[in-house]
Amino acid sequence: MEASNLFTFKPIKHRIAKGFLATTAVLSFINIFVTYGWEQPAFAIGSLIATLIVPLALFLGRYPRLHWLPLAVAILIPIGFQFPSAIFSLGREAPIFWFIAGPVFFFGLSNLYIGLFLSLALMATLIANFLYSLYGLGVELLPVNTFISLLITYLFVMMLLWINERDRLKEELELNDSASLDFLTKVRNRRGMASIIEQNLSLQNRYLTPCSIILLDLDNFKRVNDRFGHAIGDDVLFNVATLCASHLRETDVLGRWGGEEFVIVAPGLVCGQAQQMAEKLRQILLTHHHPDVGVVTGSFGVVSMRSGEPLKRLLERADEMMYEAKQTKNCVVASE
């Protein structure tokens, strides 16, 4: 699954989390103001300020440098309200029931594991607050039975959200995989490979990490289709993909670029090393006999990534090298 910022709002259903966050903050303010408004005006004013911070954080969180604000508010306001509520409650029921909404914020605003971690951290804070109030201040925020029921409800909500988010991520990964795989050869398709190449370009530009691209075009493949039919041609494509993949490193990525063309991304290899890899694959193809067809050779173009080079230009250079190799066929042409 492609990486995204863990602290940005995710689309569709997580818009609900934003609305729920703002609504809960307003209801919490009303609850606290009614409870403490006249006796503890400072606490009520603090609640009002906290309530105003929520929509402000949601608005400012749209800017890249402030993307962390919504989640920070979702964490700090609940925790910030707990200990003052214990101190000022003086034996009355404190407004802590709304903490059940905490996991909704955390799973909605972050990812699976951070959401679980923050939910457990909030639960631990809630328990610590209750014990501190009961044994440290001698104040019973809630009857023990009520608190246990609240805790069980909190755990139930947290686990439901965790299961839902886990299943959502699993479905998302499966969809991404199916959208990035070539149906015929079972390797990545052009879309998936373009994403892989872009990621390695970014690494090369940032850390100067070497990476090379190998383009492979099967020689005279049209004759295979014309003579033996497309079904046999499809078998050849599948066999070539399987054969090449079995001789690559774990870090290398093979994909079908289109038609009878394949592309290999070789992270960590400079041009000369990638050329040796391409030559090895060329010899493997040369000695492999496909059922009914026999030997199908390949022409390879090899280039290494250059710092600051656009994706379009990188692919153009690789295509130029492959085109030059096609003039001779069954050879490898490389360029730094």
Which uninterrupted H or E stretch holds 168? helix 144-180
Structure tokens at 296: 């199908």
Work out the average pLDDT over 324-328: 93
Q: 110-164 pLDDT, tens per residue?
A: 677 777 887 888 788 778 877 877 777 666 666 777 778 778 878 887 888 788 7
Q: Indicate the length of the chain as a whole number.
A: 336
Residues serving a catalytic function are: 260
Q: Are 315 and 291 in contact (CB under 8 A)?
A: no
Q: 27-37 pLDDT, tens per residue?
A: 555 655 555 55
Structure tokens at 18: 């934003």
What pLDDT is recorded for position 205? 84
Under the banding of pLDDT at 50, 70 and 90, the label for residue 308 is confident
Q: Which DSSP symbol is given to 44?
A: H
What pLDDT is recorded for position 318? 93
- Please count the CA atoms within 13 angstroms of the CA of 102 that sit on its side-chain side: 34
What b/e sequence results for 144-166 when a residue is b if at least 16 CB atoms lie within 10 Å of its CB, and e otherwise? eeebeebeeebeebbeebbeebe
**CATH code that applies to domain 190-335:** 3.30.70.270
8: left (phi over 0), alpha (psi -120 to 50) or beta: beta
More confidently predicted of 204 and 298: 298
What pLDDT is recorded for position 134? 76
Q: Are 298 and 219 in contact (CB under 8 A)?
A: yes
User: In the sheet that 253-258 helps form, which strands lie side by side, from edge to edge?
Assistant: 253-258, 261-267, 211-218, 298-304, 332-335
Under the banding of pLDDT at 50, 70 and 90, the label for residue 60 is low
Q: Are 11 and 18 in contact (CB under 8 A)?
A: no
The full set of domain ranges for the chain reads 14-179, 190-335
Q: Are 196 and 188 in contact (CB under 8 A)?
A: yes
Given a cut of 60, whether residue 230 has pLDDT beyond it is: yes
Q: Are 154 and 99 in contact (CB under 8 A)?
A: yes
More confidently predicted of 82 and 246: 246
Q: Which DSSP symbol is given to 290?
A: B
Q: Which DSSP symbol is given to 64?
A: G
Q: Are 303 and 314 in contact (CB under 8 A)?
A: yes
Structure tokens at 13: 């259903």
For every residue of 87-133, which 3-state class applies, written as one string?
HHHCCCCCCCHHHHHHHHHHHHHCCHHHHHHHHHHHHHHHHHHHHHH
Report the alpha-carbon distance of residue 278 to residue 284 in Å, rounded: 10
Q: Are 216 and 245 in contact (CB under 8 A)?
A: no
Q: Which of 43-47, 128-132, 183-187, 236-240 has the highest mean pLDDT?
A: 236-240
Report the alpha-carbon distance of residue 304 to residue 253 in Å, rounded: 15
Taking residue 256's Cβ as centre, other Cβ atoms within 10 Å add up to: 26
Given a cut of 80, whether residue 259 has pLDDT beyond it is: yes
- Please count the CA atoms within 13 angstroms of the CA of 154 that sit on its side-chain side: 26
Structure tokens at 167: 């299943």
Residue matched to tokens 């259903």: 13
292: left (phi over 0), alpha (psi -120 to 50) or beta: left
Work out the average pLDDT over 298-323: 93
Question: Would strands 332-335 and 298-304 be described as parallel, antiparallel, or unpaired?
Answer: parallel
Given a cut of 60, whether residue 322 has pLDDT beyond it is: yes
